[in-house]
C-alpha cells in the first residue's frame, strides 16, 4: 500500500518592504512521504521570498516534470521555476529551457560540494540563480514546522525574518550563483 502525502496548512502573512508586497496567504502544502519537515519549510520560505498571487506549489516529488514552486503568466508560460534541494544539471538545464528564470534553494551542509561539481556545467545559461540556506538556519526553520502554522515573514533591506509567535528566525542567504 502506497504512503500518502501529509497535509500542512499555513497562514502566511508577508510584509515584503523591498517589493512593497503585503499579503496574507492561506497555503495547503502536501508533504511527500520521503520529504522532511526541513524541506517543507524551505519550500514555504521560497514561497514567501517570491510571493505573488499566481505563485503555486508544484508536484516536484510526485511528478518529475514540475518544480517545487512556479509562477506562470496568463498564457501559461512559466516565468519562474523554483527548485528546492540539490537538483542535477540536466533538470536545471531543462528548467532553464522552459522558464524565464530558475531559482534553486539548497539547504544541506553539503550544498557547497554539490555546487562546485555543478558550477562549470551551468556556465552556458544565464537564467539560473542558486541560493544556499545555511544548515543552521534550515534546522531552525524545521523546528517551526507544524501541521497547522501561523507565520509572519518580514523582508526589509534584504534581511528576512520568519516568526511563528514563539520563535523568530533570521534567514541567512548565500548567493552561490546569480542570474546574469
Q: Which of 101, 39, 41 is nearest to 70 (CA)?
A: 101
Looking at residue 5, its pLDDT comes to 83
pTM: 0.94
CA 65 to chain centre: 17
Name the average pLDDT for the chain.
Answer: 93
Looking at residue 90, its pLDDT comes to 93
- The 10s digit of each residue's pLDDT in 3-21 is 788 999 999 999 999 999 9
CA dihedral over 82, 86, 91, 96, signed as positive or negative: positive
* pLDDT averages per 10-residue partition of the chain, 180 residues: 82 98 96 92 98 90 81 95 95 95 95 93 92 96 96 97 96 92
Looking at residue 63, its pLDDT comes to 65
**Residue 95 CB partners (closer than 8 Å, separation 6+):** 67, 81, 83, 87, 102, 128
Helix, strand, coil % over all residues of the chain, rounded to 5:
25, 40, 35
Looking at residue 143, its pLDDT comes to 96
Amino acid at each position: 500500500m502506497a504512503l500518502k502525502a501529509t497535509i500542512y496548512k499555513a497562514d502566511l502573512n508577508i510584509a515584503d518592504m523591498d517589493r512593497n508586497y503585503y499579503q496574507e496567504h492561506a497555503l495547503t502544502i502536501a508533504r511527500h512521504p520521503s520529504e522532511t519537515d526541513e524541506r517543507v519549510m524551505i519550500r514555504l520560505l521560497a514561497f514567501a521570498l517570491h510571493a505573488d498571487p499566481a505563485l503555486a506549489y508544484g508536484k516536484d516529488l510526485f511528478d518529475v516534470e514540475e518544480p517545487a514552486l512556479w509562477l506562470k503568466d496568463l498564457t501559461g508560460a512559466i516565468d519562474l521555476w523554483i527548485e528546492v534541494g540539490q537538483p542535477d544539471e540536466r533538470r536545471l538545464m531543462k528548467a532553464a529551457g522552459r522558464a524565464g528564470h530558475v531559482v534553486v534553494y539548497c539547504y544541506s551542509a553539503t550544498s557547497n560540494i554539490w555546487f562546485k561539481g555543478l558550477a562549470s556545467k551551468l556556465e552556458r545559461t544565464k537564467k539560473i540563480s542558486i541560493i544556499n540556506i545555511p544548515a543552521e538556519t534550515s534546522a531552525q526553520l524545521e523546528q517551526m514546522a507544524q501541521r497547522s502554522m501561523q507565520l509572519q515573514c518580514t523582508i526589509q533591506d534584504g534581511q528576512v525574518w520568519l516568526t511563528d509567535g514563539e520563535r523568530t528566525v533570521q534567514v541567512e542567504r548565500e548567493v552561490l550563483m546569480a542570474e546574469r
